[in-house]
Structure 1
């Protein structure tokens, strides 16, 4: 059982603060997006930090689990907080997530198409984006516009 599941046993659906870590994986000017099973939206690979992990360990672990890719040489892309970090899921669970987003172009492995949390993975050009996860759209659009890095929001 993971940390979030343990905390949900104690607090039910009340708001829980989380630390999310994700990676913008870039190849030839395209970004890797995953099509999620739960919300039918596309976003970057990543997930919630477990106690004792570093930001990088979380991002690498979650990306490997979700995509089959081992990512190396992470660079800090952005730190995201604020009102956009709040979400309420269909089951009533509420979270407020602070997001640490990395960028990488160095990866290896076989890209998994059907994983526990995702239907498919595909690289997209900025002019071809599918329906983006509204909680991750700001990371992805910041990647498109490439302002000064790292981004602090």
Structure 2
């Protein structure tokens, strides 16, 4: 852990030097539980996701990242929101400081069994009532709230 530091409206945060298209997936099973992972880069809980790679469309990025990080194959069924808060910057150990640019997609599980990857310390389906007990970032908390609102596209910020 520790190769990533998130800053939220922090006047002492380093200046961003990149913007990278990234996705997160709001995946809810039939029981209403949310697919969450405890990230290996910062130890906090979050929704699975990552950056788009050359040659793939953005829905393909969602499916690939969720499968790689959790073992669950998903189908993208909607958009929760677009999050581009310049007050959220992420500093990486290699010197990159990224301004947030994240598309949060609604997805449904199709198949697979939960597994931990090199990017996660723990992966599980979390009941909605337990979400407040998890150590999550303010941006993850916002995506979860927007995801549960259920509107077709709830947030563009």
Q: TM-score range by the shorter chain?
A: 0.7 to 0.9
Deviations 1:11-64 (A, max 9, x none): xx9611101012111012221110111211000011001123211011111111
Alignment TM-score, normalising by the size of structure 1: 0.80
What is the 5 A alignment of 1:10-29? 15-27=17-29, 28-29=31-32
Aligned length: 139
Alpha-carbon separation, structure 1, partners of 2:92 and 2:139: 12
* Shift in CA distance, 40/52, structure 1 to aligned 2, threshold 3 Å: same
Quote the residue 1:51 is aligned against. Answer: 54
Match of 1:101 in 2: 104
* Residues 73-152 of structure 1 aligned to structure 2 (within 5 Å): 73-90=76-93, 92-112=95-115, 114-129=116-131, 130-144=134-148, 146=149, 148-150=151-153, 151-152=155-156
Which consecutive unaligned segments of at least 5 residues does structure 2 have?
Answer: 1-14
Task: Pick closer, same or farther for the CA change 1:56–1:85 going to 2, 3 Å.
Answer: farther
CA RMSD of aligned residues (A): 2.1
Q: Per-residue displacement from partner, 1:87-120 (whole Å, max 9, x unpaired)? A: 22355430013111111223211110x2111011
Which structure shows the higher helix fraction?
A: 1
